[in-house]
Chains A and B, each alone.
Chain A
Amino acid sequence: MSGPRPERRRSRMERRYRRLLALYPKDHRREHAEEMVGVLLAADGDAPVRAPNPAAWARRLGQHTADSADLIGGALRIRGRVVLDRIRRTRWLSWTVRDRRWSDALAVVSVIAPLLLLVAALTEFRIPQAVANSITGHPHWGVSATLGLADLPMAAGAPGVALLVFLGLRRLAGLGALATAIGQIAAGAVPAFAGYADPAVAFTVLLSCTAAVALLFSPGPDRGLALLTRGGTALVGAGALILGGFSVGGDVWFGPMDDRAPRFDDFGGKVAGLPADLLIAAVLITAAAACLRAPVSRRVLALLAIPVIPYAFLWQEKLAVDLFVQPGGGTAVIPSSIPMLYLPPLLLASLILTGTWLGRRRAGERDRQVGSATSGPRSAMSA
């Protein structure tokens, strides 16, 4: 009478374990299911067939429950690892522009734009002075302006992006640049922060966007530096250092020689009445373009014109004030407004996109024509 009972029990346990094993990934089941059932039944076989008392019966029930929970936990761990492996293997954000000349131009921009962004942040927020002041406490390094909440995206984002580029984390740097742009727009959209209808803000917002696109859709700064060559990289780097340094500390080094201690706020990051950012951008972009071959340099100029365009409005305002307005008041011919600052750069970006799309289409049609011309006689022969 005792013969069939252990067999029945074993097959019942086996069915139960197989149901739980269905939770495992198919590949794992195919390789290990039989073996695992064997191990589970072997472990179960160590227990006496019939529980001698209620306490032993409860212990066995506890064992089976623990085995079942352990099987479920194992399935979750293996499935979790499979998902993680898949995520790790996926080359996330790995789209790059197909056209070689545009991808090269974007690679160069992925060097210049984060550098410009860093210099813009350093000069705008007088970060070096603030650091020097906090260390030395010298009045020479006094900065009266303080960082507001609206300044944080740029003040933290730009150095962060530059650091990520330096560490070779291109995609993270691209996402950081995107976050910097979104942060500035969000901060500017809050009425209390006076909006972003300011050419200097438009410049940094559009520069962050350009940097994000360049970092996310190009082979990255390594390729950009290779294209710039060592001489070009040195020229751009020296330009950023000298002009950025002048813009940061110009008033202290060359400032007014009167009695009062010069303060950085007097200088305000301006050169000849125009923002230092603009001069630095112009010099760096010209230096970079001069070091590149024409097809790439033209594209670099087009891409970096996008953030610089809003400054044209500042210039026109200054000219209008100088030429037409009596001292003491007046407005520019075309006052700065969000559409005037942001629409022309977006138009240029759309023109670039449309141009590259049309170029790709034309190249595709040319390839098809060449393909049909070469395959025509062959198909005629085979027919």
Chain B
Amino acid sequence: MQEPTFLILTALAAGAQHGYGIMTDVTRISDGRVRLRAGTLYAALDRLKADGLVTGDREEVVDGRLRRYYRITDAGTAELAAEVRRLRANAAAAASRLGLAGGPA
């Protein structure tokens, strides 16, 4: 799973969000390291929707502008959980070999 995809799913794991909300949340989650732009975000959302990992939730109009909310599906949650397990296992293995504290218990 690519990092933007992982971060978008992570942003939506807490609840439905609109496009701009996802962008700012991803920046927050990644500690400012990843700044999603609209082109990347909507290409990723388009693919995630096609794969059934994300779906449209509701729409509202704010200041004359359309806002569409997206939410993670059950399949998306499962995919994200699997990716978290994979990353955690990899991180634990790396930490253990480096002799870092916080390696596998």
Residues of A in contact with B (beta carbons under 8 Å apart): 28, 32, 34-43, 66-67, 69-75, 77-78, 81, 85
Contact = CB atoms under 8 A, between A and B. Distances in A.
Top 4 nearest A-B pairs (CB, nearest first) are A74-B39, A70-B39, A38-B65, A70-B37
A75 B20 contact: no
B20 A36 contact: no
Interface stretch (B8-16, B40-48, B72-80, B81-89): B40-48
Nearest to A73: B39
B66 A35 contact: yes
Interface of B: 18-20, 23, 37-43, 46-47, 50, 65-68
B79 to A, nearest CB: 18
A38 B67 contact: yes
Nearest to A37: B65
A321 B46 CA distance: 74
A283 to B, nearest CB: 52
13 contacts: A28-B46, A32-B68, A35-B19, A39-B19, A39-B23, A42-B65, A67-B39, A70-B38, A72-B39, A74-B40, A74-B42, A78-B42, A78-B43
A39 B20 contact: yes
A71 B65 contact: no
Nearest to A20: B39
A32 B41 CA distance: 12
A123 to B, nearest CB: 50
Majority SS of interface residues in chain A? helix
A35 B43 contact: no
Max chain A C-beta neighbours (<10 A), residue from B23, B43, B50: B43
Contacts of A75: 39
B20 A38 contact: yes
Contacts of A28: 42, 46
A85 B37 CA distance: 25
Contacts of B46: 28, 32, 78, 81
Given A38-B67, A72-B39, A81 B19 contact: no
B93 to A, nearest CB: 33
A42 B62 CA distance: 11
Most buried by A among B37, B39, B40, B42: B39
B43 A74 contact: yes
- Of A38, A39, A70, A75, most buried by chain B (CB within 10 Å of CB) is A39
Given A35-B19, A35-B66, A38-B65, A43 B38 contact: yes
Contacts of B39: 67, 69-75
Contact of A67 (B37, B65, B67): B37
A252 B66 CA distance: 83
A17 to B, nearest CB: 8
B38 A71 contact: yes
